[in-house]
A = this chain, B = another copy of it.
Amino acid sequence: MNKVIELLQSHRSVRKYKPDKVADELVESIVRSAQMASTSSNVQAYSVIAVTNPETKRAISAIAGNQQHVESCPVLLIWCADLRRSRLACEQHNVQMVSGTMENFVVAAVDVALAAQNAAIAAESLGLGIVYIGGIRNDLRAITPLLHIPELVFPVFGMCLGYPDQEPSLRPRLPLRAVLHRETYEDDEKKSESVEEYDRTTREYYIERTNGKHDTTWSREMADKFKRPVRAYLRDYLEEQGFRFDT
């Protein structure tokens, strides 16, 4: 196993940070690394907002379900799917941009995720910790004016950045055979077995980590998560932002 793979496989989300600032040149190096990720047809359909203002971080922390680390991390990156720059480019050539397709939305959502993951790896290679904050999607209608998000921009997730003040244990993932298929997508029966195996692993992990207080399994967590709709305003919000899904 080389050093890079070791780094990738030792990722854990960090939710407690030292007060030390993150030098601006590190943030720039991290975002430059993000920019070198692959991007669909060179569209580069994303932007990132580096938030350090304590009041803004506090407000976003409240929106994200009072996650203390969102407020206490020195830098909060907000990763946005962004078709606005593409539209600017079209306007320079008097072209009316077609932005109402699922395809364009998928391109932007994937582009921003590829870039962000490069940023996460770059940050971790510099001794920083990160955690993704999907909780900003709890209320994007509040995030939007706060960060002056314009049309055709969709803040997809946040990412805390800072020097770790904790050493969380590795969280076990699904067995390899649950996610890796050979030649074609394999049938459900095999997958069910690997889910059962993973249920045992996660149960042990939770019991050990919480001294027996948290006794559940992965499939139980999924059942709890998916039994009701969450963030059911999202499609409407995206349409308010000028995204459309007509075709």
Contacts and interface: CB of A to CB of B under 8 A. Distances in A.
A96 B117 CA distance: 32
A234 B102 contact: yes
Interface residues of A, number: 122
Interface in A130-178: 130-132, 134, 137, 146-150, 153, 156-157, 171, 173-174, 176, 178
A3 to B, nearest CB: 7
A8 B34 CA distance: 8
Contacts of A207: none
Contacts of A218: 42, 89
A68 interface: no
A200 interface: no
A181 B118 CA distance: 18
A238 B157 CA distance: 23
B36 A8 contact: yes
Contacts of A100: 229
Interface string A18-41: 000000000111011111111011
Interface string A168-208: 00010110101111111100100110010000000000000
Q: How many copies does the complex hold?
A: 2
A88 B191 contact: yes
Interface in A105-149: 106-107, 109-110, 113-118, 120-122, 125-126, 130-132, 134, 137, 146-149
Given A88-B191, A106-B234, A32 B49 contact: no
A42 to B, nearest CB: 7
Interface in A56-80: 56, 80
Contact of A178 (B85, B109, B132): B85
B182 A49 contact: yes
B56 A183 contact: yes
A222 B38 contact: no
A147 B186 CA distance: 9
> Nearest 5 A-B pairs (CB), nearest first?
A113-B113, A4-B125, A89-B219, A89-B222, A93-B223
Interface of A: 1-5, 7-11, 13, 27-29, 31-38, 40-44, 46-53, 56, 80, 84-90, 92-93, 95-104, 106-107, 109-110, 113-118, 120-122, 125-126, 130-132, 134, 137, 146-150, 153, 156-157, 171, 173-174, 176, 178-185, 188, 191-192, 195, 218-223, 225-236, 238, 245-247
